[in-house]
Structure 1
Amino acid sequence: MQFKSDVVVTAYKASKGEMNGKPYDSTKVYIETGLQAGERSKGIIATEYTWGLSSNYEVIEKFDPPFKAVAVMQQVSNGRDVKTILVDLIPEKLPVVQGLPK
């Protein structure tokens, strides 16, 4: 099942290289997530999502976190557990470029 969600991106990073002979290539995105309120918990945390290859970093590198975006997500299951995958991330506004009118 695929769905869209308005989110706040709190951080992001790209990683590419090789470790112990195995290549890796990904962009990690940290999205604001409400903490289930309870008797002894409250606040907002960030959940880490892998968003494709490190080249996706270029799509959002001009945005200073935190920033609003629309996340396209997909829920998948192995029959027992449900996992949410970040399929795409569309920033809400164009980044402000220094020296240009806002």
Structure 2
Amino acid sequence: MKFPTQVIVHAVKESKGEYNGKPFSSCTFHCEVDLKENNAGRSIGRVTRPFKLGDASEFDKWAHLGGSLPITADAVFELEAAKEDGSKLVLLEIKPVTRAGQKAATPA
């Protein structure tokens, strides 16, 4: 199931290189989420959670926004079934929001 939502992006991280002779390349978006209470105790506030999307070249589309973070972005997620009764949230698309009177913050 896919669904659109707005998120607050606090950081974007490129990861690129080679490990054990195999190349790797990814981009991680750190988005704000509510902190959920659990059996170990109460909680309040918000934290960031990493979501991978695309390869390291995705970072180049966001690099010019570094001084503006955190920023609001439009995102599309997919909710997937995971093992047992769990579920997994997968980031499919993300782009910065442009506000009225603001220069376009769209990735290049």
TM-score bucket of the superposed structures, by smaller chain: 0.7 to 0.9
Match of 2:54 in 1: 52
* Cα offsets for 1:12-67 (capped at 9, x unmatched): 11111101212110000000001125763111100100011111112221113100
Distance in 2 separating the partners of 1:40 and 1:82 = 23
Q: Residue 43 in 1 paired to residue 45 in 2?
A: yes
Distance in 2 separating the partners of 1:17 and 1:37 = 37
User: Please, what TM-score do these two structures have when normalized by structure 1?
Assistant: 0.83
Q: For residue 76 of structure 1, what is the amino acid of its counterpart?
A: E
SS of the residue 1:62 aligns to: helix
Distance in 2 separating the partners of 1:6 and 1:71 = 6
- In the alignment of these two chains, the number of paired residues is 95
Q: For residue 4 of structure 1, what is the amino acid of its counterpart?
A: P
Match of 2:32 in 1: 32
Q: For residue 76 of structure 2, what is the amino acid of its counterpart?
A: V
Match of 1:98 in 2: none
Q: Residue 86 in 1 paired to residue 88 in 2?
A: no
Distance in 1 separating the partners of 2:23 and 2:81 = 26
User: Please, what TM-score do these two structures have when normalized by structure 2?
Assistant: 0.79
Distance in 2 separating the partners of 1:78 and 1:45 = 23
Unaligned runs of 5+ in 2: 99-103
Runs ≥4 residues deviating over 3 A: none
Match of 2:72 in 1: 68
Unaligned runs of 5+ in 1: 96-102
Identity, % of aligned pairs?
A: 31
- Give the superposed CA RMSD: 1.7
